[in-house]
Amino acid sequence: MRNSEIEKLSACRLETSIGPLFLESTETALVSVRFGAEPAGSSSRDEPLNAACRTVSGTMSAVSGPEPLRLAAQEIAAWLAGEIDQFSVPLDPRGTPFQMAVWAEVRKIGRGETRTYGQIARVLGNPNACRAVGSAVGKNPLPLIIPCHRVVGASGPGGFSGGMRIKRRLCELEGIRLS
């Protein structure tokens, strides 16, 4: 929580070509993207949702709620359609300083590119932190937006919070071939 106040979260369930996504935002920033259908009130942040979870498909302008929620829905649809490469929605990922550093490096990976856990560990100045990087990547609260599907193992595709079928599909959309 910020400023010792309970933040209100708004949420929507977004139907996409890769399956349903559950988005949460404050009035100022997107805080969570999760794969699969989740009911309203299931926030991982133990904070109340101020809007009922709504299923939205088709035109993303149908999303109601704060601007970050609407913008995220529009940008995710455009990204999946190959119309944009980067997201501009304001983000508020919350994690440890190490997790935040890992997520910042993951955001630098361009569409169609990959990095290994080891490469990220080396960039962060600790080449022995491959597993810690993997753990931080696995706790990414904003997959797609912070493109953790682009992070792979040295000898294979690695894992993914949305499951390997979705990781493969996201990589395929970007022209990335996973072994």
Looking at residue 91, what DSSP letter applies? B
Indicate which residue of 12, 130, 148, 171 is catalytic.
148
Identity (one letter) of the amino acid at 127? P
Active site residue 12: no
Cα 85 to Cα 72: distance, rounded to the nearest angstrom = 13
Q: Helix 97-107 vs helix 130-138: angle between axes, to the nearest 10 degrees?
A: 80
Give me the residues paired with residue 86 across strands: none
Contact between 178 and 167 under an 8 Å Cβ cutoff? The reply is: yes
Encoded tokens for 171: 């990589």
Residues catalogued as catalytic:
148
